[in-house]
A and B are shown apart, each in its own frame.
Chain A
Amino acid sequence: MSRALKVLAAPLIARIEDVGRMVLMFLGALAWLFRPPFRTMNFVHALHFVGVGSLFIVLLTGTFTGAVLALQAQHAFHMFNAESMVGGTVALSLARELGPVLTALMVTARVGSAMATELGTMRVTEQIDALEALAVNPVQYLVTPRLLATTVMMPLLNAAFVFVGMIGAWVVSTVILNGDPGFFMNKVITWSEAADLINGMVKALVFGTIVATVSCYRGFHAGGGARGVGLATTQAVVTSSILIFVGDYFLTLAMY
């Protein structure tokens, strides 16, 4: 009986252990933020990779998200003659929800997968073991700069997403669909508050931490050659995406 229970509980215990190790790696990476040697160049490279490297896809997806939101909102509000509400609706949607969530998903797809693959390859080719053998802490060298860079860059990318999203919405609403620019801007200003943008930035910051931690953890513990690296990358993207949606719900619950 106890053996059967053990077999049944094993996957659950393994998953709990997995989460525990991930949290420990996160705390370890945090602790290394305050202890020398500081990996300034690794951090700058990570900032460039996460921030500058992701800017184009974030701007592209942000523009079209704002544009399509305005398009849908215009059609919907037209049914009861309330087209003036398009600007405010899009502003709130982007700042509170779509900005942070979609930015995080794009960064997960581009940056999270790359981190998991890079660290996974380093693991299976013993490069991480080589770091340890050379008395270099691999969490400090590899994880801490990536974690910090993603956490710092995600809110900034979110701000860029929301900004271009509003431009996309404004163009669709006023230039293409001939809406009134005055009404558009009036509702944006009267409905949205600084808190909406700040809450969105906080969400993005949390999502940045989640994406970097999960992706680095999965890559760091990859095993089994090329297949293992592929699996680690898939797990990094899927786990990060799920945690972004679940985390978004609880953050929204806490904020509003």
Chain B
Amino acid sequence: MPDPILTVRDVRKSFGEYEVLKGVDLDVAEGRITVIIGGSGSGKTVLVKLMIGLLTPTGGEIVVDGERLAGLQGQALTRLRSKFGMVFQQAALFDSMTVYENVAFPLVERRVPRREIPARVANQLRVLGLQGAERKFPAELSGGMRKRVGLARAAILNPKIMIYDEPTTGLDPVTTRQVDEMILEAQEKFHVTSIVISHDMASAFRIADYVAFVYEGRIAAYGAAADIVRSENPRVQEFLRSSGVSIDAALASKGGGAA
């Protein structure tokens, strides 16, 4: 496995008396796609929100690109967050802004010179096949296009790590395929590390280099995608069986998982 760009050590998170994460350990390999799978309410989204500093852990340590997340505030936290790009489950586009304004938003916020912004936005939209959608509002876009705009916005500041929160939830099979391809393309074009949260098993194994299986607030299994399929962990096997999809076919379309 390549060196980790993000390390999670014994991370715990409670909401009131309810402990969602009970000691998570995870190394995210640089330049690869790591898919975090698990059932609803297993703590996947909480884990990535902790990684990006949207939530504060109750215990444990998270190190991003050699920098400890704990205690970071203000400018230091802003600098660390700029290493991430996040594509949300429902894309989370600003609905009062056009596609152009959404994609330009991070550039405006980082005070990129105004004359550079139109060219950078146009280039980003072209790379992701969104030409002609500049003046549209999010409500006028299909689910797949929204995801693409969300990716365009998240990737425009060239983050080191892209996070996708349930990118295929609620999409039809054709759009799901397109989103999978979009993630693989983004990996290739932007040379990033990708972390994908998913409970769509076929999609997960189509794109994953590494798979982490979250069960009851802990990482129950972690390794190369092909190894996870062969895992003897009964929880993993049960989850794979109940997903009812051909994991082998999905792995074959990816090319057998990470080396």
B-binding residues in A (CB < 8 A): 121, 125-127, 129-130, 132-136
Contacts and interface: CB of A to CB of B under 8 A. Distances in A.
A184 B21 CA distance: 72
Nearest to B53: A132
A133 B54 contact: yes
Interface in B85-108: 85-86, 88-90, 92-95, 105-106
B97 to A, nearest CB: 10
Contacts of B52: 133
6 contacts: A125-B92, A127-B94, A129-B88, A133-B81, A133-B85, A135-B81
A125 B54 contact: no
A132 B84 CA distance: 11
B95 A127 contact: yes
B82 interface: yes
Contacts of B153: 134
Q: Dominant SS at the A interface? A: helix
Given A125-B92, A127-B92, A127-B95, A133 B109 contact: no
A217 B175 CA distance: 37
Interface of B: 49, 52, 54, 77-78, 81-82, 84-86, 88-90, 92-95, 105-106, 109, 153-154
A132 B55 CA distance: 11
Contacts of A130: 86, 88, 92-94
Contact of A132 (B54, B95, B106, B154): B54
A126 B92 contact: yes
A16 to B, nearest CB: 15
**Which of A121, A125, A132, A133 has most chain B Cβ within 10 Å?**
A133
A18 to B, nearest CB: 14
A126 B90 contact: yes
Contacts of B94: 127, 130
Nearest to A132: B54
Nearest to B88: A126
A132 B154 CA distance: 12
Contacts of A134: 81, 105-106, 109, 153
B54 A129 contact: yes
Given A125-B95, A126-B92, A127-B92, A133 B86 contact: yes
A14 B93 CA distance: 32
A232 to B, nearest CB: 17
A127 B88 CA distance: 9
Given A133-B52, A133-B84, A135-B78, A125 B90 contact: yes
A69 to B, nearest CB: 40
Pairs of residues from A and B, 5 with the lowest C-beta to C-beta distance, nearest first: A126-B92, A130-B92, A133-B86, A135-B78, A135-B81
A114 B78 CA distance: 30
A121 B138 CA distance: 14
Contacts of B85: 133
A206 to B, nearest CB: 30
Contacts of B109: 134-136
Contacts of B49: 129
A135 B154 CA distance: 11
A129 B163 CA distance: 13
B7 to A, nearest CB: 20
Given A130-B92, A133-B154, A134-B81, 11 more contacts: A121-B95, A126-B92, A127-B95, A129-B49, A130-B86, A133-B52, A133-B54, A133-B86, A135-B77, A135-B81, A135-B109
